[in-house]
Amino acid sequence: MSMKKNNRRLSLSFAFALACSAMYAQAAFSPISVNLNYPQFQKLKLDGGAVYLDGGLKGLILYRANENSYLAFDRACPHNPNGEMVQVDLSSLFMVDHACRSSFNFSDGQPTSGPAQRPLVQYRVEQEGTVLKITDEIIN
């Protein structure tokens, strides 16, 4: 095999590896504590409530599934992590990236429409009484 072909294959392999690592990019962050008794978290007192937090690549969406289950998703769309931030739809029934028009369900962050092929990055949430701790441990 010629040296040019070897270099081209090596370059393509390297580019592919970089693209794959960018697809699964995450930002390390210190654990985030959320006291559910604080006024800024009142939306989390009801099932289906959500708030935005700092953390992750583009910020976090913290969602209450029920009184014992809270989910944290990165706001970076897996289709274009450098694009706009994913938001909770006005209906509060799903999350959406208005730029690429991908939408995601709250149960596990899986895409339900649009070009996104992978779910939103989901982080571990631990609950101790009225305090939640969100860590940068990815659980999906």
> Domains of the chain: which residue ranges?
28-138
**pLDDT for position 140:** 87
Rounded to whole angstroms, the Cα distance separating 72 from 70 reads 7
Tell me the two tokens of residue 110.
């899986």
**pLDDT for position 17:** 36
Torsion of CA 43, 112, 101, 96, to 10 degrees: 10
Write the CA distances from 120 to 13, 34, 63, 127, integer angstroms.
26, 21, 13, 21
Tell me the two tokens of residue 41.
């978290």
**pLDDT for position 25:** 60
**pLDDT for position 16:** 37
**pLDDT for position 26:** 67
Fold of the domain spanning 28-138: Rieske Iron-sulfur Protein (2.102.10)
Written as one letter, the residue type at 73 is F
Beta bridge partners of 72: 62, 123
Q: Which pLDDT tens digits describe the chain residue by residue (140 residues)?
A: 454 544 444 443 333 333 433 445 667 999 999 999 999 999 999 999 999 999 999 999 999 999 999 999 999 999 999 999 999 999 999 999 999 999 999 999 999 999 999 999 999 999 999 999 999 999 98
